[in-house]
Chains A and B, each alone.
Chain A
Amino acid sequence: MDYIFHIIILINIYIILTTSTNLLVGMTNLLSLGQAAFYGLGAYFSVLALMVLHLTIIPALLFSAICTSLMSLLIAYPSLRLKGDYFVLATLGFQLIIYTILYNWISVTKGPFGISGIPSPSLFGLLYISGIYSFLVLSSVLAAMVIYIFYKLIHSPFGRALKGVRDDELSLLSIGRNVTSLKIWAFTLSSGFIAIGGCLYASYVAYIDPTSFNLDEAIFILAAVLIGGTGNIKGPIIGAVFVVVLPELLRLVGLPDSIGANLRQIIYGLTIILLMRFRPQGIAGEYALK
């Protein structure tokens, strides 16, 4: 049973990552390769919150979300003035810079050795979230909260304006909207909520190192969003379930890890190719990326 709970916790973490990424990719048409960097920043800021500042879980989540959002502003303002491929390259550059910093700033991040012994967070100092059941509840509550918030945002005038950015920036400018400002909001909100996933991951695994937040992970998050589908709420959820459950299914088939890992990559790649060809909006999405 613990195994099933573990899978559900991972799905919940990925739902937070994909739902947040959908705001950027699916709602605003901003293809970002820097999402793992924000995921990592969220995780490292949560370590700071839990191990140095000794915050409880809710302030720690807020702390990592706010710090990561502020960091995202550093990249948002200059890069969001770039368009299309140049924006993708800017986020790729950011991803590589953050990874390099996490990997080499050993005095702070412990570099490739990682940070272990991340303490179990507490809820208001009364209840310690340590066992798998506690994390199941916490991750489910957080995933549900993120889904609810993004559902509200997507179906609001703000979401409508973001869809306007996605559909036709020129038209949006001509009706008096500040497109750069809308993109910065989307970027900052997406980063902040991804940080919540990072905080949850760090406190659940109790150990983080930079390899969990590298370019592969950024592509993995993006692949999950593209496979599940963009532009609505259910697509990213289905994408998260798909990418977490698939390797477990391959394991059940009894393939050795060395083959299973490679096969998994091939299946992800094939799935994306087939979807781009036959269903560019993803399994359950409603919008095909331009």
Chain B
Amino acid sequence: MSESILNIDSITKSFVKNIVNVHGNNEDERYFIIDDLDLLVPKGKITALIGGNGAGKTTLFNIISGFVESDSGTVLYNDKSNSINISKMKPEQIARIGIGRMFQDNHIFQNLSVLENMLIADSNTFGEIPINSFFRTKKNKEVEENKIEKAKEIFENIFGNNNSFWERKNDKAKNLSYGQKRLLGLTRLLMGNYQLLLLDEPSAGVNASIIPQIMEIIKSFVDDKDLTVFLIEHNMKVVLDIADFCCFMSHGKIAALGTPDDVISNDEVRKIYMGA
């Protein structure tokens, strides 16, 4: 395996549930969502995380991106130059050091226009300070114009010239179809200054005709932009087609790891995940 961008070391996340035991007494029982999990995510590759519902995949993503704090263990993010312990960092700090996140649900800004969804995702926050916003200085205008140009270029690179997203740039995002919202959610990640993208089921719930487009975009993140992608995916065709590595998660642990073909042909994976 190549150099890793993410070192996940002994991560544990549990919750305590109060139950009544066979003697009729109350007692606390600890449930492990993530159970002493170790994983290296290779740099510049697409790594897929698969597993049944409740296996802890999204919780692991939430821990990596700072939305959930783990009970123990560390997550090290290997930046271009140094290694940063992100275990106790806040989500916004983690995003700023280069880890982007796409959520399972459509977490785009529904009441902002298509273009505004792109502009707000830009890593440059210069104009967002009220005083800068009020006095539209030359620099402020320049920053905004550069963002618009960048958004236009991204749309053109991904969807071609005269693409529907640019044509509908002033439409509110809530008026897009579900599939278009997923595409917008993916595309806007390119506005940020990210090295690692965490994609939570990017193809879930979208029309089958859009899935190849989603796969192309994800592949272009790695091939053209030199980014690393770590994605949760249930669609095995997507995993087989685009992932370089695959991890199978079960009961809060990584139960199998390797190439997608190796993992999917693993007897335990077939038994637990595919019921074969």
Contact = CB atoms under 8 A, between A and B. Distances in A.
Interface in B157-200: 188, 192
B192 A163 contact: no
Interface of A: 149, 152-153, 156-161, 163-164, 166-168, 170-179, 182, 185, 189, 231, 286-287
B133 A173 contact: no
Contact of A156 (B121, B133, B188, B192): B133
B120 A164 contact: yes
Nearest to A188: B130
Interface in B60-83: 65, 67
B110 interface: yes
Interface centre among B101, B107, B130, B140 (most CB of A within 10 A): B130
B96 A158 contact: no
Interface stretch (B11-19, B111-119, B219-227, B237-245): B111-119
B258 interface: no
B51 interface: no
B110 A153 contact: no
B91 A174 contact: yes
Contact of A171 (B96, B108, B125, B128): B108
Contact of A149 (B128, B134, B140): B134
B97 to A, nearest CB: 9
Nearest to B98: A176
Contacts of B123: 176
Given A158-B134, A175-B188, 5 more contacts: A156-B127, A157-B128, A167-B109, A168-B109, A170-B67
A174 B120 contact: no
B65 to A, nearest CB: 7
Given A158-B127, A158-B129, A158-B130, A176 B107 contact: no
B119 A157 contact: yes
Given A156-B127, A174-B100, A167 B92 contact: no
28 contacts: A153-B133, A153-B134, A157-B140, A158-B127, A158-B130, A159-B133, A163-B112, A164-B112, A167-B109, A168-B108, A168-B109, A168-B110, A173-B67, A173-B91, A173-B95, A174-B95, A174-B100, A174-B103, A175-B100, A175-B121, A175-B188, A175-B192, A176-B93, A177-B92, A177-B125, A178-B92, A189-B130, A231-B111
B111 A176 contact: no
Interface of B: 65, 67, 90-93, 95-96, 100-101, 103, 107-112, 116, 119-121, 123, 125-130, 132-134, 136, 140, 144, 188, 192
Contact of B133 (A157, A163, A168): A157
A169 to B, nearest CB: 10
Contacts of B96: 176
A182 B120 CA distance: 13
A175 B92 CA distance: 7
Contacts of A231: 111
A170 B107 contact: yes
A170 B110 CA distance: 13
Which A-B residue pairs are the 5 nearest by beta carbons?
A: A157-B127, A156-B133, A176-B95, A158-B133, A171-B107
Nearest to B111: A167
Given A160-B112, A170-B103, A176 B130 contact: no
B14 to A, nearest CB: 23
Contacts of A161: 120, 125, 128
B120 A168 contact: no
A175 B95 CA distance: 6
A152 B91 contact: no
